[in-house]
Amino acid sequence: MRARSSRVLKLLAFTAIASIGAAGGAFAQPAATLHNIPQSLIFEHEQTLAELSRLSQKPGEVGVAARSAEALFKRHIAREREYILPPLALLPDIADGKVAQEDVAWALAMTDRVRADREAIYLEHTEVTERMNALHIAGIRAHDRETTEFAKAAAADSLNDLEILEPTVIMIGDYLRSKLPAKP
């Protein structure tokens, strides 16, 4: 699934940008959140939800498992969009050494919340993985290769969040805090 030709990847990237730009994204930023979330993550969420929605229409065990996973995934995305993903938008600025001072306060509030909620986030990812495993098993039983491949990829994405995204958010907070002036 991840090994695609560069032509397909370019088309996918163009489609993602076009669909996010044209529609504002199915998960457009809430008005209260003025901090951008990386578009690649918004697109990934939209694709996962679209596939879960499609699979939820299937009869039998696959449909039941997909509906269960879809409900949980929607709650999970809401948490990520609220405070986990926005600090990631600062990565290009951090890499360039140009973080705006006005970004520090909101980002630190979010990164501190990620640190404080690590256990709850871990448990939520565990539940997402369990639901994707159930969908995978339902796909095997239904001889539905498309479902099994999707479920494996979605479980891997959840693991990626635990192993890379959330620790990166915490590191962003640590970096920003290290750049604050020392308190007398």
pLDDT in tens, 17-73: 333 333 334 434 333 345 689 999 999 999 999 999 999 999 999 999 999 999 999
Rounded CA-CA distance 162/180 in Å is: 27
pLDDT at position 6 is 34
Q: Where are the domains of the chain?
A: 37-89+100-178
100 vs 141, residue with greater confidence: 141
* Span 90-109, average pLDDT: 91
Dihedral over Cα of 28, 31, 32, 37: its sign: positive
Extract the tokens encoding 58: 């299937």
Rounded CA-CA distance 83/77 in Å is: 10
Give the DSSP letter string of 8-56: HHHHHHHHHHHHHHHH--TTPPPTT--S---HHHHHHHHHHHHHHHHHH
Q: pTM for this structure?
A: 0.77
Query: Which has the minimum average pLDDT: 29-43, 114-128, 158-172?
Result: 29-43
Rounded CA-CA distance 139/41 in Å is: 26
